[in-house]
Structure 1
Amino acid sequence: MSKPTKCISIEEAKELQNNWITSRGATITSSRGAQDASDFTFSLAEMEEFLAYVRAESAKLGVLNPGIRIYFAAYNNSKSTKATVFLAPTNGSDENASNNYDIDPLNRSNTGWPPNEY
């Protein structure tokens, strides 16, 4: 299998994450008074299972080219107030595709603590 065309270099990934840490991450830490989660891990098996679910459910709904949108989010309960992400199915693969509210999103990733730097 060849490398996907949208892969970036490790150096670019490190630069992008450093940009986030020194701008948004620093602001979040300052405003919250504590560091927040900033990396989230899903296993390959979880991702493959979710993608298969989205493909199957999308096909049932007549969506031929679904996408996945990743949202930043935050918990607000007795267990956590930390950041998280969730993956939401869309009705297409372009940036303006509508969310597919007939298919449940994916959450419950593992969060590095303290956050893992790339």
Structure 2
Amino acid sequence: MKKLVLVVLGFILGAAITYYFCPRPLEEVVTETKIKKPNGLITIDEAKDLNNNWTKFRQGAVDSASARQGRKKDNRSTSWDLDEVENYIAYAKNQSDSLGYNMTGLRVYLGVYGKNQGQAKKNLSTMFMVPTGTPIKAKANAVNMSFFGNDEDIPVDPLNKGTGGAGGYNP
């Protein structure tokens, strides 16, 4: 009987030690994603001023060039679906890595569709974006040299085919 009590006490003591000292799965920890305010933000009023200045200083020249092509107004903006942009960024990062580049940003270019784009887009303005970055020279290099502003266009297919608009900025 004494031995049985010692065995039971041993099991209880062993279970208690196991409970307190063995790792247990952590309960699901909910972490908040901290959203950082981007650099380069401007106010809505500043954006309106930029848009109004474009209208004042550029619209006449652009629309007169469009008139020579048989159009009243040219596109003055391009928009992309958010999912398309996020997908493009993931694609561009993957392709850049495959080509030996460290993708650090995106650059937006102005362009003009040529005569062979069909009547809907013929000679209209457009915008397209390309990934930018620096070649990966050595994996062991711990210093990111991109702060010198030497990012270059990475040879990855650019994103175009957004939706063009003739109206101005109007939040």
Could you state the TM-score of these two structures normalised by the residue count of structure 2?
0.61
How many Å apart are 1:83 and its aligned residue?
Answer: 0.5
Distance (whole Å) between structure 1 residues aligned to residue 111 and residue 55 of structure 2: 17
SS at match of 1:66: strand
Q: What per-residue deviation string (whole Å, max 9, x for no partner) do you get for residues 19-68 of structure 1?
A: 11111122111233231100111011011000001111112223224321
Q: Which moved more, 1:54-63 or 1:92-101?
A: 92-101
Report the equivalent of 1:109: 162
Aligned with 1:75 (options 113, 134, 137): 113
Letter in 2 for 1:85: M
How many Å apart are 1:96 and its aligned residue?
Answer: 4.2
Distance (whole Å) between structure 1 residues aligned to residue 133 and residue 37 of structure 2: 26
Q: Is the 8 A contact 2:133 2:151 kept in 1?
A: yes
Q: Is the aligned partner of 1:4 residue 2:38?
A: yes
Gaps of 5+ in 1: none
Letter in 2 for 1:105: P
Q: Is the aligned partner of 1:88 residue 2:88?
A: no
- Structure number with greater Rg is 2
Aligned with 1:41 (options 79, 83, 100): 79
Report the equivalent of 2:151: 97
Q: What per-residue deviation string (whole Å, max 9, x for no partner) do you get for residues 84-114 of structure 1?
A: 001012234675422212x1000000112x4
Distance (whole Å) between structure 1 residues aligned to residue 50 and residue 158 of structure 2: 26
Aligned with 1:53 (options 91, 104, 108): 91
How many Å apart are 1:15 and its aligned residue?
Answer: 0.6
Aligned residue pair count: 116
Report the equivalent of 2:52: 18
Could you state the TM-score of these two structures normalised by the residue count of structure 1?
0.85
Letter in 2 for 1:117: Y
Distance (whole Å) between structure 1 residues aligned to residue 124 and residue 83 of structure 2: 24
Identity %: 33
- Divergent runs of 4+, >3 A: 92-96
Q: Is the 8 A contact 2:103 2:131 kept in 1?
A: no
Distance (whole Å) between structure 1 residues aligned to residue 86 and residue 169 of structure 2: 25
